[in-house]
């Protein structure tokens, strides 16, 4: 036995030792997902009712509404005073005093409460929007992994057929031991690839089920790949993150107004009625704190700096949004054109290539190694098409999330 044959023999022996560990995975059912064909918008509707992140955002909104009501209450309670003095003449007095909101602090608090409620509403919308996007991406990725797993199953069956063909030809003396070992090695590789693909499929299914709270099914994304290209104009106003940044700036401005008014203490006005001996008397009291020892200047400066920072953040987000919007628009157009071109010409050409290669192999016009190389190219092409469809769908999902337009998609 020469050195090359010894190499092939050792390789074959190693394959025999390793392959049994994959035999169980080879028989795992591929598509064990539910046959549920619930429309995608209903899947989303159910998830929005039960998702913990949505429920958390709802509770935060309720908390801000409660805080807003608290901020709208009067700042100061009235004070009642009683006095009694027993001297030469008995003196009895009763009085009431009220601190006056001289600067309109309550109004600033009410405005601040409204802005905080609006921010909580936007954050709830952002949470909903993000959940829909995550579910849509996970659904697309789940379908992608189903397609890739099916492809890996076909590759494995093709490799097994090639192995049987090579064994028969080698027994007849038509091919060399090297070609036979190459065919057996292809089976080994196909089994590994299938198991890896199955692991990715399981992962994507678990993620999808965790997001939706439902068993993964055959949910349609409403033919995202066939949608016309999106329109660029008028999308800036719909971006939730820009709305949130605008409200954050408004919140800082409202806080600034409130802090400025806190620099001035409010006066107190009181009325007193009393009786000294047999004489009745009335009194009026007015007091005003002097802003000498405690000032609010540093807090005011901090709020001003925060407001400027939020303003710069808003301008930055606006500029980045326009760039991202144009980039995503171009991405959708490019991927859509590529996918449509494939549907028009590539699919039929690929099927013809498989049949041609099978005929060439059976007629002995190509050897096993060349056949595997050619098949590898065709299978890589199919993988690329599956990825192309996935990338086009996720580009659309990114667009809907960015422009807050999931509703218009799911209604169509």
Ranges of the chain whose pLDDT falls below 50: 1, 3-33
Reduce the DSSP state of residue 175 to 3 states and report it.
Answer: coil
Residue 26 domain-assigned (yes or no): no
How far CA 113 is from CA of 62, 73, 118, 251, 255, in Å, comes to 12, 11, 9, 9, 10
Please tell me the predicted confidence (pLDDT) of residue 1: 46
Please tell me the predicted confidence (pLDDT) of residue 349: 65
Ramachandran quadrant class, 157 (left: phi over 0; alpha: psi -120 to 50; beta: rest): alpha
Q: How many domains does the chain have?
A: 1
Concatenating the DSSP letter of every residue in 58-93 gives HHHHHHHHHHHHHHTS-S---EEEEEEEESSSEEEE
User: In this structure, how many other beta carbons lie within 10 angstroms of the beta carbon of residue 180?
Assistant: 20
Residue 246 domain-assigned (yes or no): yes
CB 102 within 8 A of CB 267: yes
How many CA atoms, within 13 angstroms, populate the side-chain half-sphere of residue 344?
A: 6
Containing domain of residue 63, as a range? 44-411
Residue 130 domain-assigned (yes or no): yes
User: How far, in whole angstroms, is CA 128 from its chain's centroid?
Assistant: 9
CATH of the domain at 153: 1.20.1600.10
Residue 163 domain-assigned (yes or no): yes
CA–CA separation, 152 vs 140, rounded Å?
Answer: 18
Q: Which two tokens stand for residue 128?
A: 């909903």
CA–CA separation, 201 vs 216, rounded Å?
Answer: 11
- The angle at the Cα of 169, spanning 167 to 174, to the nearest 5 degrees, equals 140
Residue 225 domain-assigned (yes or no): yes
User: In this structure, how many other beta carbons lie within 10 angstroms of the beta carbon of residue 383?
Assistant: 15
- The angle at the Cα of 233, spanning 227 to 239, to the nearest 5 degrees, equals 85
Residue 158 domain-assigned (yes or no): yes
Please tell me the predicted confidence (pLDDT) of residue 3: 45
Residue 154 domain-assigned (yes or no): yes
The helix (run of H) or strand (run of E) holding residue 245 is helix 240-262
The pLDDT tens digits for 100-121 are: 888 888 888 888 889 999 999 9
How many CA atoms, within 13 angstroms, populate the side-chain half-sphere of residue 5?
A: 4
SS3 percent helix, strand, coil of the chain, rounded to 5, is 70, 10, 20
CA–CA separation, 39 vs 220, rounded Å?
Answer: 7
CB 339 within 8 A of CB 388: yes
Reduce the DSSP state of residue 272 to 3 states and report it.
Answer: strand
Please tell me the predicted confidence (pLDDT) of residue 412: 63
The pLDDT tens digits for 117-160 are: 999 999 999 999 999 999 999 999 999 999 899 888 888 887 78
CB 312 within 8 A of CB 245: no
Residue 30 domain-assigned (yes or no): no
């Amino acid at each position: 036995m020469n050195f090359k044959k010894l190499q092939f023999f050792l390789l074959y022996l190693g394959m025999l030792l390793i392959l049994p560990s994959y035999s169980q995975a080879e028989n795992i059912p591929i598509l064990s997902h539910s046959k549920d064909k619930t429309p995608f918008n209903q899947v989303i509707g159910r998830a929005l009712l039960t998702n913990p992140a949505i429920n958390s955002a709802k509770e935060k909104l309720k908390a801000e509404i409660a805080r807003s009501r608290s901020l709208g209450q009067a700042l100061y309670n009235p004070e009642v005073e009683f006095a009694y003095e027993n001297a030469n003449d008995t003196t009895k007095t009763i009085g009431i005093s009220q601190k006056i909101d001289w600067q309109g602090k309550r109004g600033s608090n009410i405005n601040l409460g409204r802005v905080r409620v609006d921010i909580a509403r936007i954050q709830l919308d952002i949470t909903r929007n993000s959940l829909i996007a995550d579910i849509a991406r996970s659904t697309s990725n789940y379908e992608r992994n189903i397609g890739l797993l099916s492809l890996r199953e076909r590759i494995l069956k093709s490799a097994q057929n090639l192995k049987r063909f090579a064994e028969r030809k080698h027994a007849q003396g038509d091919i060399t031991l090297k070609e036979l070992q190459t065919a057996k090695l292809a089976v080994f590789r196909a089994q590994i690839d299938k198991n890896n693909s199955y692991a990715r499929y399981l992962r994507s299914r678990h993620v999808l089920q965790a997001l939706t709270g439902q068993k993964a099914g055959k949910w349609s994304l409403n033919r995202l790949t066939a949608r016309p290209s999106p329109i660029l104009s008028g999308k800036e106003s719909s971006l939730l993150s820009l709305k949130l940044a605008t409200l954050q700036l408004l919140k800082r401005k409202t806080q600034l107004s409130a802090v400025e008014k806190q620099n001035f203490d409010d006066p107190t006005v009181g009325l007193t009625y009393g009786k000294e001996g047999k004489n009745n008397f009335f009194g009026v009291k007015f007091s005003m704190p002097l802003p000498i020892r405690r000032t609010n200047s540093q807090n005011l400066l901090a709020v001003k700096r925060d407001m400027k920072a939020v303003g710069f953040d808003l301008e930055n987000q606006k500029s980045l949004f326009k760039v991202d919007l144009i980039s995503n628009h171009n991405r959708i157009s490019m991927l859509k054109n590529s996918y449509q071109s494939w549907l028009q010409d590539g699919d039929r050409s690929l099927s013809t290539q498989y049949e041609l290669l099978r005929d060439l192999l059976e007629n002995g016009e190509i050897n096993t190694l060349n056949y595997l190389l050619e098949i590898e190219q065709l299978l890589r092409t199919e993988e690329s098409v599956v990825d192309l469809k996935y990338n086009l769908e996720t580009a659309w999902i990114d667009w809907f999330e960015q422009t807050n337009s999931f509703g218009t998609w799911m209604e169509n």
